[in-house]
């Protein structure tokens, strides 16, 4: 594990309140976040005090090895490592100029098809958790955004609501990049990727992904799922998602 300064998450939010079929998603069911392996002891204690009982880590083995589990490893919280991308470098262009909405939309679509079993496992964790489940990658945008999208699709949220949730990460991106800089710099160097995460405002190496209209990447995923399948959740059902799991999720979401 590299020497990393622990800090409070800057992209953590409860999905509670989002309109779904039958009402609104209850608070303290699903929490999305940036890297929870590098949070402070104070932040970890607060999450557990507020009802956290499960953590889903969507990062690759390489990323998880760099940081370890962090302070939450010391609490009675179940840990589920479900990488949505086995090798981060394989999913990214070698030049940051190619990192645009079209690339991200394709990458998100590939995650749903190629990591469907991991997404199903994640939904099952959320359905069966006694308390709240927090899921995270490094930035809390891409892999975390894909899991949030399929969770909200399963609960009957509209595409508009899913895109709106994804877009809430936009204003946080400079702080996210600054917070994850030590880990990402080490990982990029190991993978020989041509990214520079050292800009003072956290914007270098991000292509056009910090510009207005960041939501386009998520729109591309939802459009692709509906174009390729009669049911956008078809890849998950093919990977083992059951009606029973969906029912448990919806019951928990509404407090039934």
In degrees, rounded to 5, the angle at the alpha carbon of residue 239 between the alpha carbons of residues 149 and 229 is 60
Can you give the pLDDT at residue 246? 98
46 contacts: CB under 8 Å, gap ≥ 6? none
Q: What is d(CA 30, CA 23) in angstroms, rounded to the nearest whole number?
A: 16
Share of the chain above pLDDT 70, in %: 83
Q: What is d(CA 25, CA 155) in angstroms, rounded to the nearest whole number?
A: 8
Q: What is the residue-averaged pLDDT of the chain? A: 88
Q: Summarize the confidence of residues 55-60 as an average pLDDT.
A: 97
Residue that has been written with the tokens 């998602």 in this structure:
241
b/e per residue 116-143 (b: at least 16 CB within 10 A): bebbbbbbbbbbebeebbbbbbbbbbbb
From residue 248, alpha-carbon distances to 28, 109, 154, 190, 194 in Å are 15, 26, 11, 41, 44
Which tops the pLDDT comparison, 93 or 36? 36
Q: Summarize the confidence of residues 43-49 as an average pLDDT.
A: 98
User: 225 and 232 in contact (C-beta within 8 Å)?
Assistant: yes
User: pTM here?
Assistant: 0.91
From residue 130, alpha-carbon distances to 30, 35, 46, 74, 246 in Å are 12, 22, 17, 18, 16
Q: Which fold has domain 13-252?
A: 3.90.190
H/E run at residue 135: strand 132-136
H/E run at residue 118: helix 116-128
- 195, burial (CB in 10 Å: exposed 0-12, middle 13-18, buried 19+): buried
Q: Where are the domains of the chain?
A: 13-252
Q: What is d(CA 131, CA 25) in angstroms, rounded to the nearest whole number?
A: 14
Beta bridge partners of 80: 56
Q: What is d(CA 16, CA 165) in angstroms, rounded to the nearest whole number?
A: 11
128-171 tens-digit pLDDT: 999 999 999 999 999 999 999 999 999 999 999 999 999 999 99
* 234 pLDDT higher than 50: yes
Residue that has been written with the tokens 């939904």 in this structure:
123
Can you give the pLDDT at residue 202? 45
């Amino acid at each position: 594990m590299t020497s990393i300064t622990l800090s409070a998450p800057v992209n953590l939010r409860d999905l509670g309140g989002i309109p779904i079929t039958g009402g609104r998603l209850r608070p303290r069911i699903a929490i999305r976040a940036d890297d929870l392996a590098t949070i402070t002891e104070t932040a970890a204690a607060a999450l557990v005090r507020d009802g956290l009982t499960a953590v889903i880590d969507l990062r690759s083995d390489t990323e998880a090895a760099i940081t370890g589990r962090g302070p939450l490893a010391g609490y009675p919280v179940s840990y589920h490592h479900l990488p949505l991308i086995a090798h981060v470098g394989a999913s990214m262009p070698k030049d940051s100029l190619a990192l645009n909405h079209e690339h991200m939309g394709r990458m998100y679509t590939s995650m749903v098809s190629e990591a469907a079993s991991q997404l199903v496992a994640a939904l099952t964790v959320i359905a069966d958790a006694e308390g709240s489940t927090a899921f995270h990658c490094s930035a809390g945008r891409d892999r975390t955004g894909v899991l949030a999208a399929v969770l909200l699709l399963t609960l009957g949220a509209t595409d508009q609501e899913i895109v709106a949730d994804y877009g809430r990460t936009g204003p946080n991106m400079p702080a996210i990049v600054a917070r994850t800089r030590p880990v990402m710099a080490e990982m990029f160097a190991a993978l020989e990727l041509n990214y520079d995460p050292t800009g003072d405002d956290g914007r270098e190496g991000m292509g056009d992904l910090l510009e207005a209209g960041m939501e386009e990447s998520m729109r591309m995923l939802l459009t692709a799922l509906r174009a390729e399948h009669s049911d956008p959740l078809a890849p998950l059902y093919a990977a083992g998602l059951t009606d029973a799991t969906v029912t448990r999720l919806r019951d928990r979401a509404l407090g039934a």
